[in-house]
């Protein structure tokens, strides 16, 4: 056998054994780890806003991950079809970020939609949640559009990162949106319009657990230290370690003070959902994590009622299976648990007189 033939056979055997090893490793990994949620295009689109920087584009039908999302003429997400003629007795405005919008779940699977169903549509819940909004954006949206709806209750969905980037956009800031109306940092533009190599990378991430893990890790090393992604990761690690100082949350306390005052002036009551944080709920004493305690103290000082999602997850031992794969957002089942807990809390308290009617069986 010639040396060239031997080299060719060696190369074939090496290639085959490598591919087989990768396939076996991928199979084992998939047994323990889910593939990331796929994306169907077009993803939800945004448009520039003079104060907040961006807002949901009205009158659109698109996808959030692989789930259908419908945005109405006001720029609010709909709650899906309603097979009822019941006249609502109470109007609620749901204010918040992607946890309220319902990132990665269908219109009828968001917590505002499920809260309507939990109370047999005797209440009307308008979903004003907008992905990547923080309390600055949410308060401005409330004043611009929310007050005109004359809500009797405003439920704010709080996530740990709501204290970040609470200011209007500056001229020196990098662009927030692509020309297609997607966030510049999300890569949500249709891959068919991008270079072939980018389509290949996205395909790998969506079809291989190992490739997705490797590319995610590589991103941490190649992202500039001064980028928003890197700064977000630093803040998150500080949060988990309990190293964020109380002063960091002053913007949250100011927001709730202003919300309560606006409610007194405009005729609505304020209620808050403290959404669970994936890496906190896995801790042994998650309900007493510094973040959870501090937010409860803020709300207690302001006299605002709330649902503590971190304590709820801890008490019911719900774990991380109710979070989307590779994501901090909840699954539809996670939002159902939130909505049912909200309904139970409203019906067990004299929170608002209209709930007495809504809670009648």
pLDDT in tens, 290-342: 999 999 999 999 999 999 999 999 999 998 999 998 889 999 999 999 999 99
**CA distances from residue 143 to 95, 153, 260, 301, 304 in whole angstroms, order as listed:** 11, 14, 13, 24, 19
C-alpha closest to that of 318 among 280, 292, 345: 280
Tell me how far apart the alpha carbons of residues 209 and 215 are, in angstroms, rounded to a whole number: 10
C-alpha closest to that of 313 among 342, 279, 287: 287
Strand, coil or helix: what is 325? coil
Instruction: Report pLDDT digits (tens) over 234-293.
Output: 899 999 998 888 788 999 999 999 999 999 999 999 999 999 999 999 999 999 999 999
Helix, strand, coil shares of the chain, percent, nearest 5, are: 50, 15, 35
Name 90's bridge partners.
123
For the chain, give the mean pLDDT: 85
Tell me how far apart the alpha carbons of residues 345 and 352 are, in angstroms, rounded to a whole number: 11
**CA distances from residue 281 to 225, 274, 293 in whole angstroms, order as listed:** 28, 12, 14
Among 1-5, 30-34, 178-182, 199-203, the range with the most confident prediction by mean pLDDT is 178-182
pLDDT category of residue 354 using cuts at 50, 70 and 90: low
Q: What is the pLDDT of residue 233?
A: 85
Instruction: Report pLDDT digits (tens) over 68-84.
Output: 999 999 999 999 987 66
Instruction: Say which CATH topology domain 75-168+243-358 has.
Output: Rossmann fold (3.40.50)
Q: What is the pLDDT of residue 79?
A: 95
Tell me how far apart the alpha carbons of residues 152 and 354 are, in angstroms, rounded to a whole number: 9
Strand, coil or helix: what is 121? coil
Tell me how far apart the alpha carbons of residues 298 and 217 are, in angstroms, rounded to a whole number: 36
What is the CB-side half-sphere exposure of residue 250 using CA atoms within 13 A? Answer: 3
Domain-by-domain residue ranges, the chain?
75-168+243-358
C-alpha closest to that of 100 among 135, 62, 73: 135
Token reading at 16:
């085959």
Q: What is the pLDDT of residue 21?
A: 62
Residue 153, φ and ψ in degrees, nearest 5: -140, 135
Q: What is the pLDDT of residue 232?
A: 84
Please state, as a whole number, how many other Cβ atoms lie within 10 Å of the Cβ of residue 47: 13
CA 341 distance to own-chain centroid: 19
pTM, full prediction: 0.88
Tell me how far apart the alpha carbons of residues 52 and 169 are, in angstroms, rounded to a whole number: 7
Residue 206, φ and ψ in degrees, nearest 5: -85, -10
Residue 48, φ and ψ in degrees, nearest 5: -60, 150
Instruction: Report pLDDT digits (tens) over 91-142.
Output: 999 999 999 999 999 999 999 999 999 988 889 999 999 999 999 999 999 9
Tell me how far apart the alpha carbons of residues 351 and 361 are, in angstroms, rounded to a whole number: 18
């Amino acid at each position: 056998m010639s040396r060239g033939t031997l080299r060719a056979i060696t190369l074939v055997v090496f290639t085959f054994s490598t591919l087989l090893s990768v396939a076996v490793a991928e199979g084992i990994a998939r047994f323990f780890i889910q593939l990331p949620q796929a994306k169907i295009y077009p993803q939800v689109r945004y448009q520039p806003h003079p104060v907040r920087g961006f807002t949901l584009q009205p009158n659109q039908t698109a996808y959030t991950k692989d789930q259908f999302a419908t945005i109405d003429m006001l720029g609010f997400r709909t709650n899906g079809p309603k097979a009822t003629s019941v006249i609502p007795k109470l109007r609620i405005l749901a204010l918040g970020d992607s946890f309220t919008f319902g990132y990665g779940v269908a219109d009828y699977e968001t917590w505002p939609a499920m809260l309507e169903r939990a109370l047999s549509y005797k209440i009307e819940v308008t979903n004003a949640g907008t992905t990547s909004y923080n309390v600055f954006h949410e308060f401005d949206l409330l004043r611009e559009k929310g007050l005109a709806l004359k809500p009797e209750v405003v439920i704010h969905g709080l996530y740990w990162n709501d204290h970040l980037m609470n200011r209007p956009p500056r001229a020196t800031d990098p662009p927030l949106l692509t020309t297609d109306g997607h966030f510049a940092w999300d890569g949500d533009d249709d891959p068919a319009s991008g270079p072939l190599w980018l389509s290949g990378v996205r395909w790998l991430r969506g079809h291989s657990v190992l490739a997705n893990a490797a590319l995610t890790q590589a991103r941490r090393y190649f992202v500039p230290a001064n980028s928003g992604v890197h700064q977000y990761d630093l803040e998150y690690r500080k949060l988990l370690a309990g190293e964020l100082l109380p002063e960091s949350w002053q913007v949250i306390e100011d927001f709730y003070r202003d919300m309560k005052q606006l409610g007194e002036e405009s005729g609505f009551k304020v209620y808050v959902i403290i959404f669970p944080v994936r890496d906190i709920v896995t801790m042994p004493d998650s309900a007493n994590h510094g973040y959870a305690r501090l937010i409860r103290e803020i709300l207690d000082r302001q006299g605002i009622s709330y649902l503590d999602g971190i304590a709820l997850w801890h008490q019911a031992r719900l774990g991380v299976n109710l979070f989307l794969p590779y994501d901090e957002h909840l699954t539809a089942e996670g939002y159902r648990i939130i909505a049912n807990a909200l309904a139970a809390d409203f019906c067990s308290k004299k929170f608002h007189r209209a709930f007495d009617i809504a809670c009648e069986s």
